[in-house]
Amino acid sequence: MNELFSRVIRVQWSGLLAVCILAVLALTIVSPNFLSEYNAFVFLRSLCVSLLVAYSQMVMLGVGQMNLSIGALGGLVAVIVGGLMDAWGVPTLPAIAIALAAGGVAGLVNGWLTVRTGINGFIVTLATGSAFAGINLGITKAIPFYNLPADFVAFGNGRLGPIPNLLIVPLIVSVLLVVFFSRTVTGRHMLAVGGNSHAAELSGLSPNKAIIEAHALSGLLAAAAGILAVAQLGSAQPSIGADWLIISFAAPIIGGASLAGGSISITGTLLAVVLIGLIQNAMVLLQVDPYWVTFLLGALILAAVWLNRYRAVRVGED
Amino acid sequence: MNIISRGGLAALLACSVASAPLAAVASDNRIVLTPGGPHPYFAPWEQAAADAAKDFGIAAVEYKVPSEWKLELQTELVESSAAQGYTAFGIFPGDAVGVNSVVGELKSNGIPSVALGGCAQDPTDMAFCMATDVYASAYLGTKSLIEAMGGKGAVVHLAGLLVDPNTTLRVQAVEKAVAETNGAVTLLQTVGDTDNQEQGDQKINALLAAQKDQIGGMIATGYISSVVAATALRNLGDKRIKFIGIDDDKIVLDGIRDGFVAGTMAQNPYGQGYIGAYALDLLAGGCTVKADAPFIQTPQTARFIDSGTLLISADNIDSYGDDLKKLTGELQASFKDKFLAC
Amino acid sequence: MTVQEPIAAPSSKWSLSGLLLRGSTQFGLLVILVVMWVVLSSIAPGFLSRFNLNSLGRSVAIDIVIGFAQMVVLATGGMNLAVGAIGICSVMAFGYLLQVLGLPIPVAIAATLLMGAAMGWLNGIAIVRTGVNSFVVTLASASLFSGAMLILTRAVPYNALPPAIGEFGKAAVGPVPALLIVAVAIGIALYVLFRHTVLGRELLAVGASERAAQMSGVPVGRTITIAHVLSGMLAAAAAMMLTARLAAAMPSVAGDDWLLPSFLAPVIGGTALAGGAVSVIGTVLGALLVSTIRSGLLILQVGNFWLPLFLGAFLLAAILLERYRALLVQRHRTRNA
C-alpha cells in the first residue's frame, strides 16, 4: 500500500488528479444535483472546446513557442464553417473539411512567418491574430450565421446518457496526441527542439521544420475547437474564441507544461481543464454570489497549483 | 468634473449658437453613429443612417464601429472622426461614465453629441439620451414574466457583464418587481457575466442542470444571455419554465413561435439611429435643446427620451415590426417641437 | 536568435558590438515611425491636427506606462498577467480615496501607489515562496484581485472626483499633453534604474540566468519580489493616468484589456521575453508604433470592420522592415570586420 502510494505520488499529474477527485466528492456531498445525468452532460460538454483550445497551445509550448492567435483563428474558422453551410449551402462534412484545412493553412502561415522572418513568435501571432479577427469581422460585420444544417446542430446537442456526442472529438484527439508525441518521430523531434533547440540542431534536427509543424498542428486544433464551438452553440458567432487566451495557457501550464519548452503533459492538461470546469460548475451549483465567483476561481486555482507544487517538492523533483 | 447638468447644458447652448453660422445649410452636416463595439444589436443602425441621410437631406450619416468593445478604441474612433471634420456624433457609450471625457472635448470644440441606445451618466455633455430605459425594461420584463408564471414561483435573473453599472440597475429592477409580489414570487438566483456566448452557454446550462425543477421562470437582461437561454430551453425541450428575453434575435423569435420562450422585450435600435441622426442634424445646424422639454428623469440622466419598448409575444410576433415603425414615425414627427428650439 | 539586446546583461554591456547593436532596434523603429508620420500627415490632413495629436499623445502615454509595468517583470524573465487586475483595483481605490474619503490628491496618489506596490509584493512573495511559475501565480492572483474589487465596489463607478484630476488629464504644455510628460518622466527614472544602479543590474542578471546570478551573490528571491513591487506601482501609475484621462474611476476600462498592450510595446521595442534584456526607449517607441498605425488607419477611414486586419498587417510589415534593416546592418558589419 505504501509502495503504491509513493509510486502514485511520483506521477507528475497525481496532485491534480487528487484535487479533481476531492472536488468531485465534495460536490457530490454538497449538491445532490451534481451527479444528475443532465448536469454530468452539461459539465462534460463544457470541457470539449476548452480541451482542444488547451491542446492547441500545449503543442506550441512543446516546441518552446507561443501562439496568441488561437482565439482569433478559432473564431475565423467558426465563421468560415458557418458561412459555408449557411450562405453557400455546402454540406456538413465538406464544410468541416474546408474549415479544418483553413485552420491548418493559417497555422502554416504563422509558422512560416515565425521561421522565415526570425521575428519572435509572440509578436507574429499577435499580429496575425489581429488579422484573423479583422477578416472575421469583415466577413460577418458581427452578425452570426444562424441557418446551420440540422444534423450538425443535432450532433452538438446530442448525448448518450450523460455523455455528449461532442466529447468524442477531444477524446480521439487526446489519444492521437499521446501517440503522436510518444511514438512518432515528428512528435519526438518537436519536444527535442523545444527542450534544447541548439542541441537538437547539432544532432541534425531542424528546429525550423519542427516549429512550422507545431504551428500547423496548433492551427488544426484551434480550428477543431472553433468548429466544435459552433456545433455546441448552434450558431456561428463571430465572438467565438474571444476569451480563449487565458484558458489556453492556464490549462497546459497548470498541467505541468514548461513555458521554456520541451516538457508537456497531455494527461496533466486534460486534468487541468477538468479542474477549471469543476470549479466553474460548482460556482453555479452552489449558488455563489456572482460578485464572488471571480475571486473564488482565482483562489481555488492558486490552491490547486500550490498543492501540486507541494507534492513535487516532497517527492524531490523540480 | 463637477459641472452640474444645467451648467453643461448652458455651455452647450452657447456652443451650438456659436457654431450656427458654419452650418447654415443643414445638408452640410456630417454625422457619425457609433456603437460601443461590434454587436448584432446595432445592425439596424446602418440602414437607419442611410435612410436618415436620404430622408432629411444630410450630407453624410455614417455608421462606424470600433473594432472591439473597448472604451479606448471608441474614444480614438470618435476623436479621429472629429479631426476629419465630422460635425455631430450619436454614441452608444462604451462606458456610461468614461465616455463623458471625450464628449466634453467635442462640446468644447462646438460639436454636439447625443447618447443613443444607452445613456451616459450625469453630469454629461450629451445633449440628451435616447434609449430604452434599462431599469424600466427589466422591470416591465419581470412583471410580464411574473404574469406568465401565474403570479407565483421562483425566478432566476440571467444578467450581463458585472463590471457594467447597467447590470446593477437591472438587478435592482428585477428585485423590485419580485418584491412587489409580497413573497408569492421569489428570486432564486442572479447569474452574472452571461452576456457572452461561451461563458453564458456553460453557466445557463449548469444552472438548468442543477435547479431545473425549482425554477418557475427566467428573465434575461442581456442580448446574448437571451439567445443562449432560448437555445438551452429548446435543447432541453422544456416548455414549463417561462422565459422572457430581451431584443429580437432570430433564435429568440423562433423560440416564441415554437413555445419555448414566453416573450421578449423589443427595443427600437432603428428608431434610435434614425431619430438620433435627425436630431443631430438639427443640433449641429443651430437648434438647441429646450430648457422645459418633457424629458424623463432616470437614475442615469435627467435628459432621457424613451425610444420605445414593447413586449413581443406569440400574439404580435408578426406585426411588432410595424408597431415599432409606427412608434418611430410618431416620435420623429413631434420631436422638433417637443424637444428643440430652432 | 535576437540580434538586438539594447541594454544587455552586465557581461556583454561594454563590448563594442553591444554598444553598436544597442541603438539599432530603437533606431529602426524611429525611422519607421518618422516615415509613417510623414506619409500619414501628407495624405490625411486630419492626422496632424491638434485634436488628433492630443488624443494620440494621451492614449500613448498610458500604453507606455502599462508597457513599463510588464517590462520590469520581463527583465527578470518572469511575466505579470495581473497588470490589468492591479490596474482596475488601483483605479477604483483612487476613486474611493478621492471621492468617498475626500483625501487630498497627493495623499491619494501616494496611497494608490502603495496599494499597487502591495499587490505586486503579494505576487512576488507568492512566486518566490512557492516556487510556482510567475505566469500561473499572476494568472490566479489576477482573478483574486479583480474579484476582490468586484466584491468591495460592486462595480459602481466614482464620477464626482475633484475637478483637478480631469483638468490634469486634459492639460498640455504647449502641444505636449501632461500625461505624456508623466510617462516620459517615469521612462527616464526607469532608464536610470536599469543603466546606472545596482538594483537594475541585478534585475537583468536574474533574468539572464538565475543560477549564475545566485552564484555571483545576487539575492534572487528579493530581486524578483522587487520587480513585482515595481510592476505593481507602475500599473497603479497607469491606472491613475487613465482615471485622469477619463475624469472618472470605473472598473470596465482595465482588466483583461491591458494584457496584450502590456506585452506588445516592450516586446516590439526589443525587450526579450526570456529576460535579461530590456529597452526603455524601445518600449516607448513600440507603444507609439501601435498607436500611430491605429490612429492612421482611423484617419484614413479604412473600413470599419476590416480595421484589425490592416492593423495586424501593418504591424507585421513594420516589424519585418525593422528586422530586415537589422540584418543588413549586421551583414554590413561582418563584411567590414
- B33 — phi, psi (to 5°)? -110, 120
Residue A35 pLDDT > 80: yes
Contacts of C35-44 spanning 24+ positions with Cβ under 8 A: C36/C289, C36/C292, C36/C293, C36/C296, C36/C318, C37/C292, C40/C292, C40/C296, C40/C299, C40/C300, C43/C300, C44/B84, C44/C296, C44/C299, C44/C300
Quick check: B209 and A36 CB within 8 A?
yes
pLDDT score recorded for residue B291: 84
| Residue A5: inside a domain | no
Residue C228 near chain B (CB below 8 Å): no
Q: Which stretch of DSSP H or E encloses residue B125?
A: none
ipTM of the modeled complex: 0.79
pLDDT score recorded for residue B15: 40
Domain boundaries of chain B, sorted by first residue? 5-132+268-309+319-341, 134-266
- Which ranges constitute the DSSP H helices of C216-306? 220-246, 259-268, 280-299
Domain holding A44, by residue range, is 12-315
Quick check: A130 and C320 CB within 8 A?
no
Running DSSP on this structure, what letter comes out for residue B296? Answer: B
pLDDT band of B10, cuts 50, 70, 90? very low
Chain C CB contacts of B80 below 8 Å: 46, 52, 55, 295, 298-299
Supply the mean pLDDT for chain B.
Answer: 86
pLDDT score recorded for residue A37: 86
From C130, C142, C316, residue closest to A127, measured CB to CB:
C316
pLDDT band of A1, cuts 50, 70, 90? low
Coil, helix or strand at residue B317: coil
Residue A146 near chain B (CB below 8 Å): yes
Mean pLDDT computed over B222-227: 90
Return the residue in B42, B79, B109, B119 with the most chain C beta carbons within 10 A, the one to mutate for interface testing: B79
Grid cell at residue B202: 456553460
Fold that domain C10-336 belongs to in CATH = ABC transporter involved in vitamin B12 uptake, BtuC (1.10.3470)
Does residue B115 contact residue B286 with C-beta atoms inside 8 Å?
Answer: no
Strands (E), B117-260: 129-131, 153-158, 185-191, 217-220, 242-246
Does residue A132 contact residue A236 with C-beta atoms inside 8 Å?
Answer: no
Least confident among A71-75, A266-270, C259-263: C259-263
Residue B39 near chain C (CB below 8 Å): no
Residue C136 near chain A (CB below 8 Å): yes
The number of C-alpha atoms within 13 Å of C172 and in the hemisphere containing its C-beta is: 14
* A308, closest residue in chain C (CA to CA): C132
Binding partners of C (≥3 Cβ pairs within 8 A): A, B
Quick check: A131 and C316 CB within 8 A?
yes
What is the per-residue DSSP string for C159-219?
----HHHHHHHH-EETTEEHHHHHHHHHHHHHHHHHHH-HHHHHHHHHHH-HHHHHHTT--
- B88 — phi, psi (to 5°)? -160, 150
Mean pLDDT computed over A275-283: 87
Quick check: C298 and B82 CB within 8 A?
no
Residue C59 near chain B (CB below 8 Å): yes
| Residue A136: inside a domain | yes
Residue A138 near chain B (CB below 8 Å): no
pLDDT score recorded for residue B98: 85
Running DSSP on this structure, what letter comes out for residue C249? Answer: B
Running DSSP on this structure, what letter comes out for residue B155? Answer: E
Total number of domains in chain A = 1
Tell me the C-alpha distance between B85 and B76, whole Å: 14
Binding partners of A (≥3 Cβ pairs within 8 A): B, C
Query: For residue B298, which of B306, B308, B307 has the smallest C-alpha distance?
Result: B306
pLDDT score recorded for residue C13: 44
Chain A CB contacts of B236 below 8 Å: 38
pLDDT digits (tens, 9 = 90+) for C185-235: 999 999 999 999 999 999 999 998 888 999 888 999 999 999 999 999 999
Residue B72 near chain C (CB below 8 Å): yes
Residue A125 pLDDT > 90: yes
- How many separate helices (H) and strands (E) can be counted in chain B? 11, 14
Chains B and C form CB pairs within 8 A to the count of 111
Residue A184 near chain B (CB below 8 Å): no
pLDDT band of A85, cuts 50, 70, 90? very high
- A216 — phi, psi (to 5°)? -65, -45
pLDDT band of A298, cuts 50, 70, 90? confident
Chain C CB contacts of A295 below 8 Å: 143-144, 147-148, 150-151
From C2, C148, C315, residue closest to A295, measured CB to CB:
C148
Minimal Cα–Cα distance from A255 to chain C, Å? 11
| Residue A2: inside a domain | no
Mean pLDDT computed over A34-53: 90
Quick check: A131 and C313 CB within 8 A?
yes
pTM: 0.83
Coil, helix or strand at residue A262: coil
Residue A180 pLDDT > 60: yes
Mean pLDDT computed over B313-341: 91
Chain C CB contacts of B2 below 8 Å: 160, 163
Mean pLDDT computed over B45-57: 92
Mean pLDDT computed over B313-321: 91
Strands (E), chain A: 159-160, 163-164
Chain C CB contacts of A118 below 8 Å: 1, 323
From C133, C146, C315, residue closest to A294, measured CB to CB:
C146
CATH number at residue A179: 1.10.3470
- Residues C303, C307, C310: CA angle, nearest 5 degrees: 110
Least confident among A244-258, B3-17, B56-70, C256-270: B3-17
Running DSSP on this structure, what letter comes out for residue B40? Answer: G
Grid cell at residue A24: 468531485
From C133, C305, C316, residue closest to A137, measured CB to CB:
C305
Residue A229 near chain B (CB below 8 Å): yes
Alpha-carbon distance values, C157 to A206, B153, B170, C89, C160 (Å): 54, 34, 16, 12, 9
Query: For residue B338, which of B303, B301, B298, B290 has the smallest C-alpha distance?
Result: B290
Domain boundaries of chain C, sorted by first residue? 10-336
Coil, helix or strand at residue B184: coil
| Residue A1: inside a domain | no
Chain centroid offset of residue A138 CA:
26
Determine what percent of chain B is predicted with pLDDT higher than 70.
92
pLDDT score recorded for residue B141: 93
Fold that domain B134-266 belongs to in CATH = Rossmann fold (3.40.50)
Tell me the C-alpha distance between C330 and C336, whole Å: 10
Quick check: C309 and A134 CB within 8 A?
yes
* Highest mean pLDDT, choosing among A116-120, B97-101, C203-207, C320-324: C203-207
Minimal Cα–Cα distance from A159 to chain C, Å? 33
| Tens-level pLDDT at each residue, chain C (337 residues) | 333 444 544 444 444 444 444 456 788 888 888 888 999 888 887 788 887 888 889 889 999 999 999 999 999 999 999 999 999 999 999 999 999 999 999 999 999 999 999 999 999 999 998 888 888 889 889 989 988 998 888 878 888 889 899 889 888 888 889 999 999 999 999 999 999 999 999 999 999 888 899 988 899 999 999 999 999 999 999 999 999 988 888 887 766 678 888 988 998 888 887 788 889 999 999 999 988 888 888 888 776 678 888 888 888 888 787 777 777 777 777 766 6
pLDDT score recorded for residue C14: 46
Domain B5-132+268-309+319-341 class in CATH = alpha beta
pLDDT score recorded for residue A9: 66
Grid cell at residue A290: 456572482
Q: Give me the count of residues in chain B.
A: 342
Minimal Cα–Cα distance from C190 to chain B, Å? 26
Residue A230 pLDDT > 50: yes
* Highest mean pLDDT, choosing among A213-227, B88-102, B180-194, C23-37: A213-227
Q: Which residues pair with B289 in a beta bridge?
A: B340
Quick check: B193 and A290 CB within 8 A?
yes
The four Cα atoms B54, B55, B57, B61 give a dihedral, to 10 degrees, of -60
pLDDT score recorded for residue B184: 93
Residue A78 pLDDT > 80: yes
pLDDT score recorded for residue A11: 73
